[in-house]
């Protein structure tokens, strides 16, 4: 199956999962259009990471859409609520954490859909994961299926029958270790990616937030050297 010359929109945060997703979309032969969001996140180093990942993996175009979710408040990622540290896997799997950004993936996928419509692309890639995830409702397969249905009713192509949107979630059933091995096989340099929710001024990772912990565990289980630069223990 050749998908060369087909266009895909790829949601790219600059983290480990989305970088792997971009590498998979590239490997499947798509011409990739990466969309990143400047949404007032505290961990804005990920936007710089996204740019580096695009340069390294090759995209047709990258856009960064400014969308100020701080107007809503309600999440540790976009307000002054402290990022939780040192939670173990059991704690992470209980309830929905304060780092959840309300309707974030719904908003991001909607914007990706808008761009896809303009580009004439029908394939949208998002690196959501239902295994080693952080308990976010908008990372579940049921959510993705509902969005795909919506996309085909929301658009010109859906109404006019000229195409069918598909939301690709190549990581959804993989463990973090499997994601890392998959990425390594596609040549992803994870040293370019950024996962930490609470980096220091130099962009070094804290090693203790949920995102760092999942990442550390993933590299350990994958048996892959972790290229992340962590803050020195004080």
Positions in the binding site for a copy of itself (CB under 8 A)? 63, 65-69, 71-74, 95-96, 100-107, 109-111, 113-115, 117-118, 137-138, 140, 142-143, 146-147, 149-151, 153-156, 158-160
CB of 154 to a copy of itself, least distance (A): 5
CB of 234 to a copy of itself, least distance (A): 34
State how far the Cα of 207 lies from the Cα of 134, in Å rounded to an integer: 16
Indicate the residue among 113 and 180 with the shorter CB distance to a copy of itself. 113
Q: How many CB atoms lie within 10 A of CB 120?
A: 10
| Cα angle 33-39-45, degrees, rounded to a multiple of 5 | 80
The H or E element containing residue 196 is none
Phi, psi of 118 (to 5 degrees): -65, -40
Indicate the residue among 92 and 154 with the shorter CB distance to a copy of itself. 154
State how far the Cα of 148 lies from the Cα of 233, in Å rounded to an integer: 45
Indicate the residue among 72 and 89 with the shorter CB distance to a copy of itself. 72
CB of 54 to a copy of itself, least distance (A): 16
Indicate the residue among 149 and 185 with the shorter CB distance to a copy of itself. 149
CB of 105 to a copy of itself, least distance (A): 7
Indicate the residue among 29 and 102 with the shorter CB distance to a copy of itself. 102
* The dihedral formed by the CA atoms of 200, 211, 171 and 111, expressed in degrees to the nearest 10: -60
Indicate the residue among 23 and 124 with the shorter CB distance to a copy of itself. 124
DSSP for 1-14, please give it: ---TT-EEEEE--S
State how far the Cα of 58 lies from the Cα of 66, in Å rounded to an integer: 22
CB of 217 to a copy of itself, least distance (A): 24
Distance of CA 71 to the CA centre of its chain: 22
CB of 97 to a copy of itself, least distance (A): 10
């Amino acid at each position: 199956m050749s998908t060369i010359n087909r266009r895909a929109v790829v949601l790219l945060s600059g983290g480990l999962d989305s970088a792997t997703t971009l590498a998979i979309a590239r490997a499947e032969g798509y011409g990739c259009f990466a969309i990143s969001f400047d949404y007032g996140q505290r961990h804005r180093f990920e936007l710089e990471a996204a740019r580096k990942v695009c340069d390294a993996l090759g995209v047709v175009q990258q856009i960064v859409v400014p969308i100020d979710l701080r107007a809503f408040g309600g999440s540790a990622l976009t307000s002054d609520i402290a990022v939780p540290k040192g939670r173990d896997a059991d704690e992470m799997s209980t309830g929905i954490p304060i780092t959840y950004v309300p309707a974030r993936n719904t908003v991001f996928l909607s914007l990706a859909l808008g761009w896809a419509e303009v580009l004439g692309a029908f394939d949208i890639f998002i690196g959501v994961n239902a295994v080693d995830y952080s308990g976010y409702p908008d990372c579940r397969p049921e959510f993705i299926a509902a969005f795909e249905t919506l996309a085909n009713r929301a658009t010109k192509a859906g109404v006019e029958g000229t195409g069918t949107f598909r939301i690709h979630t190549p990581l959804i059933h993989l463990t973090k270790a499997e994601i890392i091995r998959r990425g390594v096989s596609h040549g992803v340099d994870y040293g370019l990616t950024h996962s930490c929710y609470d980096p220091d001024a130099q962009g070094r990772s804290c090693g203790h937030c949920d995102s760092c912990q999942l990442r550390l565990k993933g590299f350990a289980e994958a048996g892959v050297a972790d290229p992340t630069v962590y803050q020195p223990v004080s």
